[in-house]
Structure 1
Amino acid sequence: MSPKGASEKPVRFEPEPARLLPWESKGLSSKVTRPIARAVKPLMRGRMLAGFLALAMLFGAVGGAGATIILLGGFGPNGSDLTTQIRQTLVSEQSAIVAVAEKVSPAIVTIEIVLADGSATGSGVIYSADGWIITNKHVVSGAQEILVHLQDGRDFDGTVYGIDTLTDLAIVKIDATGLSAATLGKSSGIRVGQTAIAMGSPLGVYTNSVTSGIVSALGREITTESGRLSSLIQTDAAINFGNSGGALVDSSGAVIGINTAIATDTTSGGSTVATGIGFAIPIDIARPIMEQALLGVKLSRPWIGVRYVSIDLRTAKANNLPVNEGAWLDGDSTSPAIVPGSPAERAGLKSGDIITAVNDIAVDGAHPLQDLLVQFSPGTEISLAILRDGERLVVALTLGTRPNK
């Protein structure tokens, strides 16, 4: 029965059309031709500070409501025990973040670059005590000079050792020893919902800032001005302009990703940063080139030379494929599935083949083909499990070197 005065007919609201979000990398620069460029003006700083103050006030209000809920939940025989447990958990989480900040901050640097028509700043992570730093490619792209600022106040000239041909990463070297280096974790073991802590230098002036949140999702794919990036970690830990190249760490202080991009909404004609949608390149993807730099070799990525479609239930049904997971080698006359002269051609792969495993590890949604290949160095021989016309084969393939984009 409807309340008095209410309509007997349900009111229908048409859903609002979904809005597409572009993605933006976070350099800070006075350069106006780059999508990542953001000039630091007094008015902008004021607005940003006002925003932070408003957020702090909101957090205080939420905290107050939370405290009320805890108190309300405290009634009854076990109420005070529950309240104590909750408080202890909160204190423990806060203590962990404090400990992480103290442990990792000395390894976070601010990178200032001089461009042909301005300057820009970003962040970086020291991963070796003798001056090796991982950062984003878009942070150092086009740099004529690089200055690296350490947490202890020292400044060093930096040089770009190498640029990654696969992702938005770069290695910078400074002439220093005895530095505090970050501990590298394993991104393969992280789970959605676990603590994520972002560290960097937002806006280039708030150096060694720390924000916390959770891992919101895994395996995200986006397109930025640096190209398509896949297998990214999504987090709601606040990431701002200037955080590019900074660290995403877990609750133990181990680096699990390199902060790279944030979502922006331009559907209203402006450019509004979407709250709580940031992305980091998993450290497992960054690790191979970090190790190559330590060995003094040129940065390179493995390559087999195929075009493929990742198979899921929808793809399998639409194309009448015999399996629901794997990498289906598919192309056309202008973009063949097998690149001529490639390692794949030399190994005998054919258009229509489905790669189902790499070195006995299944190719699936959790382990895309590219993620399985990226852990190897060029020149390594691997085995590929192939499904061809209903027949299962195992093919040996020697990885080539990925060409520059």
Structure 2
Amino acid sequence: MLGNDGDREDIKDGSCEGNQNKWGSAELPKNIRKRKWGRIIAVASICLVVSVSSLINSAGANFPGNDDGSSESASVEAVFLTGSLSETLSIPEIAEMAAPTVVEITTEVLVTGQRTPQYISEGAGSGVILTEDGYIVTNNHVIEGAQKISVRLVSGDEYEAELIGTDEQTDVAIIKIEASGLSPAALGDSSTLVVGNQVVAIGNPLGQLGGTVTDGIISALDRDITLDDQTMSLLQTNAAINPGNSGGGLFDGSGNLIGIVVAKSSGTDVEGLGFAIPINDVKSVMLELMEHGYVQGRIELGMTFLDIASNQEAMMYRVSQTGVYVLNVTSGSNAAAAGFRSGDLVVSLDGTKVSSAAEITSIIDSFEAGEDVEFTVIRISEERSLTLTLEESKPSD
């Protein structure tokens, strides 16, 4: 059974102990600085990127928080640390380099029970520092509904964070702390990964073990996994992932951030099945959230889907065939106005046959808000055509 590893759970003492300055230095470790000249040149290149990025930001160049009214997003290279080291490092070297970029996150959520008065539920997760001035990426499900978000650095310093923006589709959120001189992660290129590549996961398992380092390999690429009714194409790894790792970093053999840890597969007989969002899939999303607070142009379908891939699942849900079904329709949405109902079997979109929610998402991504898309569905053995006017997804107040 798949589940988000960052699901909230009551923490007895609300603490996140461990890693007191274990990797407190923001500098490269001495054993890395002493490596051959090729490494020194590569490190100098990173410093140059950071300097250029700092100059761009200090000049108010389009991003973030610019006041010139421009809506053009800055490039990834201008905002994040990229073009990083390519030499293979040892696990201790990766840990010492990447650990200062990963933070512990704790949340407080006001819960109202049916038979109990309101109470505060505490949750825990992880995050990865993106910029020197305090922008941090994590999972949307880690901070969803939180009244208070706290961040603890590897140095032990703690900050209250501001929520900048979230994107449910990719399960990504951006928060910010008022700090400077932080150690941002270097963004890698997840498109170059192959099965068997060495990876290192760093996060805050169980909400109390911040800075935990586990290693493994890329077990598979492009795994279509459904989490909270969203189907995502994820990296699979056998690096140990546990509750609290959500939002943490998955780093390659050179210390580059190539994935955001999002989930693990759970069960008494399940071991070594962890998943991460490929960093290439969310680079532009992170920029949009930092600049606008949401992803502009993102389509809100007004309904969620359920993949039924086997005859056993079809029997369990009491449907006659496999395929992708409408699970829920949001009241007042364009989907409700178009006549969609829970239980509709989606056959095709815009003339293209579909059999999974991922295929629906792929087709919808080629359209823009305001355009009409024709769906063919089967309802009670009758084929119907429904026209949906796509609307832009915007955050509510």
Same-fold status (TM-score > 0.5): yes
Is the CA contact 2:102–2:154 (under 8 Å) kept in the aligned structure 1?
Answer: yes
Q: Is 1:111 the equivalent of 2:105?
A: yes
Q: Percent identity?
A: 36
How many Å separate the matches in 1 of 2:159 and 2:252?
28
Is the CA contact 1:149–1:155 (under 8 Å) kept in the aligned structure 2?
Answer: yes
Give the structure 2 partner of residue 29 of structure 1.
Answer: 9
**Which of these residues, 206, 209, 233, is aligned with residue 206 of structure 1?**
209
Give the structure 2 partner of residue 290 of structure 1.
Answer: 286
Give the structure 2 partner of residue 159 of structure 1.
Answer: 162
For structure 2, the 5+ residue unaligned runs are 18-86, 111-119, 311-322, 339-346, 372-388
- Over 3 Å counting, the alpha-carbon distance change for 1:235 and 1:340 in structure 2 is same
User: Offset at 1:238?
Assistant: 0.5
- Over 3 Å counting, the alpha-carbon distance change for 1:371 and 1:178 in structure 2 is farther
Alignment of 1:5-404 (within 5 A): 21-27=1-7, 29-30=9-10, 95-116=89-110, 117-224=120-227, 226-265=228-267, 272=268, 274-300=270-296, 302-303=298-299, 370=361, 401-402=392-393
TM-score using structure 2 length:
0.57
SS of 1:161's partner is: strand
- Over 3 Å counting, the alpha-carbon distance change for 1:401 and 1:259 in structure 2 is same
Is the CA contact 1:233–1:281 (under 8 Å) kept in the aligned structure 2?
Answer: yes
How many Å separate the matches in 2 of 1:220 and 1:352?
23
Decide which structure has the larger Cα Rg and report it: 1
Is the CA contact 2:229–2:304 (under 8 Å) kept in the aligned structure 1?
Answer: no
What amino acid sits opposite 2:284 in the alignment?
P
Greater relative contact order structure (CA < 8 Å, 6+ sep) = 2
Please give the per-residue CA displacement for 1:171-198, whole angstroms capped at 9, x wherever unaligned: 1111112211001122222222211211
User: Offset at 1:300?
Assistant: 3.9
- Over 3 Å counting, the alpha-carbon distance change for 1:256 and 1:377 in structure 2 is farther
How many Å separate the matches in 2 of 1:105 and 1:372?
38
- Over 3 Å counting, the alpha-carbon distance change for 1:288 and 1:355 in structure 2 is farther
Is the CA contact 2:161–2:175 (under 8 Å) kept in the aligned structure 1?
Answer: yes
CA RMSD of aligned residues (A): 4.6
User: Offset at 1:403?
Assistant: 6.0
TM-score using structure 1 length:
0.56
- Over 3 Å counting, the alpha-carbon distance change for 1:206 and 1:27 in structure 2 is same
SS of 1:29's partner is: coil
How many Å separate the matches in 1 of 2:303 and 2:145?
30
How many Å separate the matches in 2 of 1:124 and 1:377?
32
For structure 1, the 5+ residue unaligned runs are 1-20, 32-38, 46-92, 266-271, 315-327, 343-350, 357-362, 382-397
- Over 3 Å counting, the alpha-carbon distance change for 1:354 and 1:102 in structure 2 is same
Q: How many residues align?
A: 281
